[in-house]
Structure 1
Amino acid sequence: MLLIFRPHAQEAMQRRGILPEWVKETVLKPEWSEVDPVHAGRMRSYRTIAELGNRILRVVHWTEGSDIVVLTVFPDRDAEKRRPKS
């Protein structure tokens, strides 16, 4: 399995200081995920990243064969509102 970062994701990561390891961990071990409500073929995965001041990282991605394509990545300030209740 390979993570393929689209140019938009690469630019966002560089601009926001987001490490590829955080993205990989978010995609492979999310705290929760949901189908993108606008694009059904895409997933949104969320994970709290301690190194980002305990902010929640959102990664928008989809699968192509055995690879995962990452479209965008950003700390989502409103993600806590969408966190599923346990």
Structure 2
Amino acid sequence: MNGADICSTSFTMGEFFLTAHAQFVATERNIKLSWIEAVLTQPDVTETDPKDQELIHSLGKISENDGRVLRVIHSRTQPMRVVTVYFDRSMRGKP
């Protein structure tokens, strides 16, 4: 998949947009857009991606989902480009 494919299938919402991959995994994993937005606007923890300094990992507990920690990986640029999202099992009981 090339960059044009990602842009043409991206979903834009407010100050961020989801790549085609992020849209797919969010749907597959039953991750609500409101949860992604909540983590992006008020993360509990942020980390720089260890392999790509242009990416940030924003993490936040989702009380509606048993307090599981949602990890949202996105660009530093505005609007934020969300690359992927998932519930991070390694963060259970953290932030």
Do they superpose with TM above 0.5? yes
Match of 1:17 among 2, 26, 30: 30
Secondary structure, counterpart of 1:24 in structure 2: helix
Q: Unaligned stretches of 5+ in structure 1? A: none
* Higher RCO by CA contacts (8 Å cutoff, separation 6 or greater): 1
Secondary structure, counterpart of 2:89 in structure 1: coil
Shift of residue 53 of structure 1?
Answer: 1.6
Matched, 1:7 2:4: no
Work out which of the two has the higher radius of gyration on C-alpha atoms and give 1 or 2.
2
* Shift in CA distance, 81/40, structure 1 to aligned 2, threshold 3 Å: farther
Secondary structure, counterpart of 1:78 in structure 2: helix
Match of 2:7 in 1: none
The AA in structure 1 aligned to 2:37 is K
TM-score with structure 2 length normalisation?
0.78
Query: Structure 1, residues 39-73: CA drift from partner, whole Å, max 9, x if none?
Result: 11000000000122210000000133x30110000
Match of 1:69 in 2: 81
TM-score with structure 1 length normalisation?
0.86
The AA in structure 1 aligned to 2:46 is S
The 4+ residue runs of structure 1 with deviation greater than 3 A are 80-83
